[in-house]
Amino acid sequence: MTAPFRGRFFGRVQQAVCATGTLFQTGNLAFKVFCMDFKPISPNTVWLLTALSRAWFKPVIFGMENLKHGGGPYLFVGNHTIYGVLDVGIYAAHLYREKGIYLRGLGDYFHFKVPVWGELLKAIGAVEGTPEECSRLMEEGHNIVVYPGGGREVCKRKGEAYKLIWKERTGFARLAIKHGYPIVPFASVGPENAYSILFDADDFLNTRLAKFLQRKGLLDSLLRNGEAVPPIARGIGPTIIPRPEKLYTGFTKPIDTSHLAGQDNDENAVMRLRLQVEQAIYLEMGRLLHYREQDKDKGLLRRFLTRL
């Protein structure tokens, strides 16, 4: 894709998304980063854009009754699935169409360094997942989605399906307390079964290339000591086409944070909230996995393709 084409393409996306904003320059491309003037595209347009993925993954959504129309606003906190892109557009489309909730995403910084992909994320309202950007969105009253596992949780390794890899991260809980945001824990099940991992970061770290990068002091700066190495996986047969596993998403009841006002610098309060959210996600994940095992509403073609 040439630069002029990309410029025209994203120009049209920006016009559809927002009429105003501040100019951002990258290389020979100029596009808009949207702040308070961000206006999302219509629910019908989002629904149309996700039609193919919805037909492929046949989503089942739970917990919509727990959410107010238009949002609280809320901070949605969930599990990242492999590659991080199979499910978010689908449940985001359902939230927007059924509840009028447009999600502003917080993304790992490396997403925004990828040509075209980073520009598209900005065009749909995603921002880099820093405390400053999250605070700005909260001050403006947006509904926000965050995955504390970040890029490490996207770069799944063998045996890590449906595991939260949050390390010691508590930033989302701290900011929710500071801004009085209710947190909606949610879980997503299905995408992890759409791929079979063939080669992961552990395998990469045993290669000569990884050892060379480590000797040169580049492994950490380029690949976060292997944490930013995406897995090589197969979907249907030997292809990269994901198996059409049904997607199950569940939104739990919001966790109120108003009683914690003024405690955003209290490490114990912040950690308790983080653990409460983590537990809620695991409980919902377990419920969805059980439902998935009992779900018989799958056509013959879907059953066949998911076994390849």
Residue-range definition of the domain harbouring residue 174: 41-102+142-195+245-305
**Residue 127 is assigned to a structural domain of this protein:** no
Q: Omega before 4 cis (within 30°)?
A: no
**Residue 79 is assigned to a structural domain of this protein:** yes
**Residue 191 is assigned to a structural domain of this protein:** yes
Report the C-alpha gap between 123 and 25 in whole angstroms. Answer: 14
List pLDDT tens digits, range 26-83.
343 333 343 446 789 999 999 999 999 999 999 999 999 999 999 999 999 999 999 9
pTM: 0.87
Residue whose pair of structure tokens reads 């699935």 in the numeric block: 81
| Count of beta carbons in the 10 Å neighbourhood of residue 42 | 12
**Residue 6 is assigned to a structural domain of this protein:** no
**Residue 223 is assigned to a structural domain of this protein:** no
**Residue 299 is assigned to a structural domain of this protein:** yes
Work out the widest C-alpha separation in the chain, in whole angstroms.
55
List pLDDT tens digits, range 118-158.
888 888 999 998 999 999 999 999 999 999 999 999 999 99
**Residue 20 is assigned to a structural domain of this protein:** no
Mean pLDDT (the chain) is 89
What is the tally of structural domains in the chain? 1
